[in-house]
Structures are given as structure tokens and as C-alpha cells.
Amino acid sequence: AQERYASLRNLPAQSKCGTVTRLMMNAGLMADLPSIEGSGAEGVGLFRTELQFLIRNQMPKRDELARLYARVMEAAKGRPVAFRTLDIGSDKVLPYMKPQDEPNPAMGWRAIRVGLDKRGVLRMQVQALIRAAAGRPLTVMFPFVSELSEFRDARDELLHQFDREAAMGHPVPADLKIGAMLETPSLAFAPKEFFDLADFISIGGNDLKQFFFAADRENERVRRRYDMLNVSFLTFLGKIVTRCAESDTPLSFCGEDAGRPVEAMCLAALGIGSLSMRPASIGPVKALLRQVDLAEVRSVMAHARAAGAESVRPAIMGWLATLPE
């Protein structure tokens, strides 16, 4: 199987219907970057910047971060890298930050909430990203945005730092894309301005599923209890696809489910154009996507829903079993 995936490395994830899905990889450390070649990833769809902060015992300095981000961009060799700003909270505690005693850290003071309240850290990080990009395109996304005003604030901060760097005569990025992660159900119902303002939206499926089903992703007892292919969740994802389409906003998905071939196929069939996953998942996901017609997948899903199924999984598995090898 490994050889088969290797032979697909330079081929697009083009399904029989002609739709091409972009397959990207998730990363968090410099050491992850070399996999970009072997996996055939078109870029890094999610770079989790908190890992760099978690492996240190003091707050990294701006110039040190800028050098690191520049190395990441160099290693990506012109492929896009979506840098996600710090997603820390009291579950991912930085040794050099005062621990917060919170009853529900996953729903607590984390990610962009910390970034907006502790501006210094967000500011320092976006300055490092802008300096690192110098003359290259830069893609930044904010984690755990729950409402329009949070996105607007974070975006304004980034634009302000961009202007400031330019005014100081520093080389600025050749192009700037600012996106939001959609990981709380509330954001799917935000005013249209949010979808218009975002250059792209990336669904953080791990958190989105956790909050949609109210099932703790860290709790072994419940974390696998609800299926991504549950019709309620798919209906909700369909709503997000529609809202992004209304604003012409590119949509991607970067939770663990993107790396599971059957789930990835259903996400692509829903109209999600880009999937970001562990490098090792790209081969298996691509192999299945190339084998199927997404219009047929959509029709199997629609039939299962019309028949009142709770999950489309049985229908999808039944249909997959009929496909020629």
C-alpha cells in the first residue's frame, strides 16, 4: 500500500466527477516540515504555533520566533502555510504563565480570548509572522473565534501591525490572508459580515464536534461516542458550506476526521474544498478520493437522510463495498 500511495504523490486528489480537493498537512514543529515532500501535501493547512511555546521554559522572543517562522516558510518551498496564532488555555499551560484555575478549561480562557485580552503576546506573535514573511505571502488564522467582533478585533490588530512594520520601513509580506477557525457552533450563525471579512475559514472539527455534541474530546468514555457522519452534524456542516459559498469564502477542514478516508470523502462531497491532516493520511485519503464520484457520494448521503437514517455511515459503507477495487 505504501508504494501505491507513493505513486500517487504527484497526482491531484481528483475524483471521477472532476472535482479536485486540496490536501494539506498539519504541522507544529520544524521537524514536521520534511514530510511535506514525501506526503505530496500542497501546503500546511494548519501550523499549530503553540507547540513552540510549550516546549520552552520561558516566553520566546519575537526575533527568535520570526527566525523560526521564516525557516518553516523556507521548508515549505513556496507552498502556503496557514499559521494559527497561539491556542493556549488552562489545558495547555505554558510553564511561564500563571496557571488559571478553571472548572472547564476547554470552554474557558483560551486561544483568541487570551490573545485579545493579553494583547502583548498576540502583537508580538503577529509581528514575528510579518517579519518572517518579508516579501513572501503570509497566511494567518485565529483559533477559537466565537463571534464576529472577536475576528474583527484580531484582524484589525494584525492589519495594524502590518501597517506599523511598513511605516518603520521593514519589508512586509507580499500578500496577506487572514482567516478564522470555525470551532464553536455560534460562529456558523454569525452575521454575513464575518463570512465576507474572512479570507478563508477552516473548520476545527475536533473542537466543533466536541461542542456540537457536548462531548469532551479528552474523555475516553465519550470521545468516540458520536459519529462525524451523524446526519445532524452533516446538516450543520452543510450550513457552513452554504454560508461560505454565499460569501465566496474558501472553506477547509482541519480536524482529525479530515485524515480518515471515508470521513474525508464525505467532507469533500459536502463541498469542502481543502482538507488538512497528518502527512501519513494524505496517501490513503487521496487514493479513495480518486476512486469515487463525489456526486454519487452525495446521492448516497441524500438517500440515507431521506430514509430517516441517524448516520449516513451504514449507507456509505454499503455503497463503498460495491465499488470495483
Summarize as ranges the residues that interact with Mg ion (CB under 5 A): 183, 204, 207
Answer for which of 22, 48, 110, 155 binds ligand PEP (CB under 6 A) is: 48
In the set 89, 179, 204, 283, which binds ligand PEP (CB under 6 A)? 204
Going through 6-79 in order, the beta strands assigned E by DSSP cover 13-14, 20-27, 44-48
Q: Give least dist CB 21 to ligand PEP, A.
A: 17
Q: Near ligand PEP by CB under 6 A, which window of 120-128, 201-209, 242-250, 281-289?
A: 201-209
Q: Which of 82, 129, 254, 292 binds ligand PEP (CB under 6 A)?
A: 254
Binds ligand PEP (CB under 6 A): choice among 40, 255, 259, 284: 255
Residue 207 contacts ligand PEP per CB under 6 A: yes
Part in contact with ligand PEP (CB under 6 A); list of ranges 37-45, 75-83, 168-176, 205-213: 205-213
Site stretch for ligand PEP (CB under 6 A), options 9-17, 95-103, 202-210, 225-233: 202-210
Give me the phi and psi of 116, to 5 degrees please: -75, -35
Is 180 near ligand PEP (CB under 6 A)? Answer: no
Taking CB atoms within 8 Å and a gap of at least 24, the contacts of 241-244 are 241/270, 241/271, 241/272, 243/188, 243/192, 243/195, 244/195, 244/201
Is 182 an interacting residue with respect to ligand PEP (CB under 6 A)? no
Q: Which lies closer to ligand PEP via its Cβ, residue 89 or residue 173?
A: 89
Q: Is 27 in the site for ligand PEP (CB under 6 A)?
A: no
Binding to ligand PEP (CB under 6 A) within 91-110 occurs at none
Q: How far is the CB of 188 from Mg ion (least distance, A)?
A: 15
Residue partners of 62: CB distance under 8 A and separation at least 6: 124, 127, 128, 131
Helices 294-306 and 231-246 pack at an angle, to 10 degrees, of 130
Among the residue ranges 114-122, 134-142, 152-160, 200-208, the one whose residues contact ligand PEP (CB under 6 A): 200-208
Q: Which does 32 bind (CB under 5 to 8 A by kind): ligand PEP, Mg ion, none?
A: none
The least CB distance from residue 209 to ligand PEP, in Å, is: 8
CA atoms of 109 and 96, how far apart (whole Å): 16
Cβ neighbors of 21 (< 8 A, separation 6 or more) are 13, 15, 264, 268, 272, 273, 274, 275, 289
The backbone region for 211, taken as left when phi is positive above 0, alpha when psi lies in -120 to 50, beta otherwise, is alpha
Cα distances (Å, whole numbers) of residue 97 to 53, 59, 126, 319: 11, 9, 19, 51
- Torsion from C-alpha of 276, 140, 186, 295, nearest 10 degrees: -30
Q: Total binding residues for ligand PEP by CB under 6 A?
A: 10
Which of 150, 165, 183, 263: binder of ligand PEP (CB under 6 A)? 183
Shortest CA distance to 121 belongs to which of 113, 39, 35, 15? Answer: 113
Among 205, 259, 261, 283, which residue sits at the site for ligand PEP (rule: CB under 6 A)? Answer: 205
Q: How far is the CB of 145 from ligand PEP (least distance, A)?
A: 12
Strand 13-14 relative to strand 20-27: parallel, antiparallel, unpaired? antiparallel
46, interface contact from Mg ion, ligand PEP, none, CB < 5-8 Å by kind: ligand PEP
Helix (H) or strand (E) holding 242: helix 231-246
Which residue type does 321 have?
A: A
Interface residues toward ligand PEP, by CB under 6 A = 46, 48, 87, 183, 204-207, 254-255
